[in-house]
Amino acid sequence: MASLQYATKDRRGSWKIRFYVNKKRKVVGLGTITEDEANEAKENIEHLIECADRSRTPCKSTRQWIDRIPDRLHSRLAALGLCEARLVRDLPTTVIAYCRNYIDGRKDWQKPENYRQAVDKLEKFLGKDIPLVALMKGEAERWHRWMIDDLEMSPNTAGQNVKRCRQMLKAAIDDGLLEKNPLKGIKIDLSSDKTKNRYIDAEAAKAILNACPDQEWRVVFALARYGGLRCPSEVLRLCWSDINWERDRFKVHSTKTKRAGKGERVVPLFPELRKELADLFEIVQPGIEVSATDYVIKRYRHTEQNLRSQLHRIADAAGVERWPKPFMCLRSSRRTELERTGPFANHVLNDWFGHSGAIAETHYLQTTEEDFELAGDLLGDLLGIPLQRYQHAPGKAKKRKNPLKNGVKKDPEGSRGTGNYTRRDSNPQPPVPKTGALSS
The CA distance from 115 to 372, in Å, is 41
Residue 417's SS3 state is coil
Q: Do 236 and 216 meet the contact criterion of CB atoms below 8 Å apart?
A: no
pLDDT at 421: 46
pLDDT at 210: 95
The CA distance from 63 to 104, in Å, is 31
pLDDT at 407: 45
Residue type, position 227, single letter: G
pLDDT at 320: 94
Q: What are phi and psi of 237, to 5 degrees?
A: -95, 0
pLDDT at 390: 43
pTM of the shown model: 0.58
pLDDT at 294: 93
> What is the phi-psi region of residue 288: left when phi exceeds 0, alpha when psi lies from -120 to 50, beta otherwise?
alpha
Residue type, position 116, single letter: R
Residue 328's SS3 state is helix
Domains detected in the chain: 3-79 (no CATH), 95-191 (1.10.150.130), 196-364 (1.10.443.10)
Residues ≥6 apart with Cβ < 8 Å to 137: 182, 183, 184, 185, 186
Q: Do 77 and 52 meet the contact criterion of CB atoms below 8 Å apart?
A: no
Residue 219's SS3 state is helix
389-401 burial, b at 16+ Cβ within 10 Å, e below that, comes to: eeeeeeeeeeeee
Q: What are phi and psi of 16, to 5 degrees?
A: -130, 150
pLDDT at 15: 87
Per-position DSSP letters for 349-408, written without gaps between them: HHHHHTS-HHHIIIII----HHHHHHHHHHHHHHHT---GGGS----PPPPPP-TTTT--
The whole-angstrom distance between residue 227's C-alpha and the CA centroid of its chain comes to 22
The CA distance from 137 to 164, in Å, is 15
Residues of the chain predicted below pLDDT 50: 388-400, 403-419, 421, 433, 435-440
Query: What helix, strand, coil percent values describe the chain, rounded to 5?
Result: 50, 10, 40
Alpha-helical (H) ranges within 127-182 are 137-149, 155-174
The CA distance from 46 to 182, in Å, is 33
Q: Do 318 and 200 meet the contact criterion of CB atoms below 8 Å apart?
A: no
Task: End-to-end CA distance of the chain: give it in Å, rounded.
Answer: 129
pLDDT at 417: 44
pLDDT at 9: 67
pLDDT at 405: 46
